[in-house]
Structure 1
């Protein structure tokens, strides 16, 4: 860096050519590092088990986008439930995470946006004025305990189906999420939306997250309700109890089981369990009650 006298007599600082080259090289190296880390996350999106996918992405994003706290959640699209579940966080106290899951999610000022089922990434301040955030009950009672103010959220969704969300949170001191950080977040979310759309075109539910069922869903194209029935059969639950748990008639249950057998190309319970275990390698009771 050199100092020179300007025409108006004011001193000017000028970068030398070598310094400019060095700065450009450092910026390029930084961009390459971010791209490499981003590519690692994208590869993981298409290879990791779905039940771990959101939290794994969250940890990968930490290497690119700094944040103080985070949480992820799935959204149940089954007939019986339409609510977030399986809240997870690796950087937030379990009690505070449970408080959000059990209560504060119901008064979250962003919940209306999540529930539209639109694939998007958004900053809280893109939708809500900071003054409104400051006065909100969830901020005063929950966010303040975490020391956070700014939130960036990815809605993993497609075709009006919400699969889940990832929320990254920062303190006021750390500042809001930049446009560049949101660009990276949005690119990652595009791949998340694609993975879930390909694997679960009808959405996810609580039963699907009990174990790794990617291969079973993909192999047999089971609907969420058919997966509920299948998972309960594998666990040894009787047909009568399955009908009671799912609030369906025995005839409706028979119809679901007939569809499952047809999709799995089997004709009886023994063949069903063999096919189920062969594809998913999932253990359980040998069979459900066929009465």
Structure 2
């Protein structure tokens, strides 16, 4: 059973989720907070979308995994991860434990375990599927060493509670799903069609890459109010009444596979 002190910590996590000004800070803060509630050695929080009928995971953040190891996962081992198929079949389950759907013997014989998990000294894994209103937004993965033992039912309950709030926050930010512009994509035709200025075009493309006004402002070294003023001009020129409509209209010009919804 979740204790009173743990509920207070969960309340702090939920508060952080809804107060976060941008998705990157939200994810990093979440990982940091969860070290106390669900002890672990490594963790990663990536974004999730669909491309050509397949799940795509991108823009991972972590405070515990070296860049080389993180890159190797997404470049080489993501297709060999024994959790990939199982989590894609989970429906409305938001939190899972690796050992719930694969035996220790099979897991420890796998190439993913032998070449990626074991070198980092971790044995047990669990994770969160972040989704809401039928849309998947992200995944969070945790792993720890043999000495700490497998993740407990109580820890999965804690992850389930926080996952529901993550899903609602992401749905507020990205009601049609997290957008992703693949390499080589260009909004040049869209920008010309609606007569966007160079700065407006730049901001429009950053919006379509999933950045929020505060993140755009930090990247361009301008104020958030200036970004919002440009966005208002973009909405007026394109006839988009809000961010979601702008995303749909702009990304449609890149082809159907350029937006995850």
Could you say whether these structures have the same fold, taking a TM-score greater than 0.5 normalized by the shorter chain as the test? yes
Contact 1:203/1:224, CA 8 A, preserved across alignment? no
> How many matched pairs?
205
Question: Within 5 A, what are the aligned runs for 1:141-152?
Answer: 141-152=115-126
Whether 1:128 aligns to 2:102 is: yes
Match of 1:226 in 2: 249
Contact 1:88/1:97, CA 8 A, preserved across alignment? no
Q: How far apart, in 2, do the equivalents of 1:218 and 1:76 lie? A: 24
- SS of equivalent residue, structure 1 residue 46: helix
Runs (5+) with no aligned partner, structure 2: 182-207, 215-227, 232-239, 257-261
Q: How far apart, in 1, do the equivalents of 2:95 and 2:213 lie? A: 27
Q: How far apart, in 2, do the equivalents of 1:218 and 1:133 lie? A: 50
Contact 2:24/2:61, CA 8 A, preserved across alignment? no
Match of 1:55 in 2: 28
- SS of equivalent residue, structure 1 residue 165: strand
Q: Which of structures 1 and 2 has the larger relative contact order (alpha carbons within 8 angstroms, sep 6+)?
A: 2
Match of 1:42 in 2: 14
Q: How far apart, in 2, do the equivalents of 1:134 and 1:80 lie? A: 30
Q: How far apart, in 2, do the equivalents of 1:218 and 1:138 lie? A: 46
Match of 2:212 in 1: 212
Q: How far apart, in 2, do the equivalents of 1:204 and 1:223 lie? A: 13
Q: How far apart, in 1, do the equivalents of 2:96 and 2:76 lie? A: 23
Task: Give the CA deviation at 1:44.
Answer: 1.2
Match of 1:164 in 2: 138
From the superposition, tell whether residues 223 and 109 of structure 1 become closer, same or farther in structure 2 (CA, over 3 Å): farther
Q: How far apart, in 1, do the equivalents of 2:173 and 2:109 lie? A: 40
TM-score by length of 1: 0.62
Please tell me whether Structure 1 or Structure 2 has the larger radius of gyration of its CA atoms.
Answer: 1
Whether 1:98 aligns to 2:121 is: no
From the superposition, tell whether residues 136 and 79 of structure 1 become closer, same or farther in structure 2 (CA, over 3 Å): closer
